[in-house]
Amino acid sequence: MRTTRGVALTLLLLSSSLAWGQSPQKLFWIDRSKNKNQVHYDARVGKDGQLDPKEPVVAYWILIPGGKRESLGWVERKKAYGFSITRDKSGQFWRMKLVPAEDRPIKVYVKDGKARAEMIIGGRAAYLTKLYIDSTEGVVLPTVNYVDLFGTDVANGAPVRERIVPK
């Protein structure tokens, strides 16, 4: 009986997730100078083609080698790779701010069935694809030397890049 209930509970949880029809779509990722592990950011898109209003974006580690997925820790979320996200007053998109680039808001939305992370890179509206963070290990926390932003120009599809050096 216990096994049947366990299976039933698992199916119920899966079906509620599937009922929403969530399909994660890759937005962008962060590479770092420290090691090859990456932080990935995915949009959660429902069957209706809209971002999940409860949790539109999720972030997690991909450990390399091996590709194992792991949650971000508390310090990582608060001090290094976390983000805040709020729905814009227009309701047309979400405004996301990354901890490593809080002064550079990212517009998250779905266009033509594809989740997009749009921001200004090199003075151009661009779809963000990747950040590279170069840092030096410190006693408590690392010191960020620079952050490179990589994307694709919204207007013409050309690659764009910009380096941000913290003050």
pLDDT, one tens digit per residue, over 104-124 is: 999 999 999 999 999 999 999
* pLDDT of residue 82 exceeding 80: yes
pLDDT score, position 13: 39
pTM for the full predicted model:
0.84
How high is the pLDDT of residue 143? 87
Domain range summary for the chain, segments of one domain joined by +: 21-164
CA pair distance 103, 118, nearest whole angstrom = 14
For residue 141, the model assigns a pLDDT of 77
Q: Which amino acid is at 108?
A: V
Per-residue pLDDT band for 7 (boundaries 50, 70, 90) equals very low
Q: To the nearest whole number, what is the mean pLDDT of the chain?
A: 87
Residues 6+ apart with CB under 8 A from 60: 39, 40, 42, 69, 70, 71, 72
Q: Which pLDDT belongs to residue 1?
A: 44
Reference 133, options 82, 71, 80, 75; nearest CA is 80
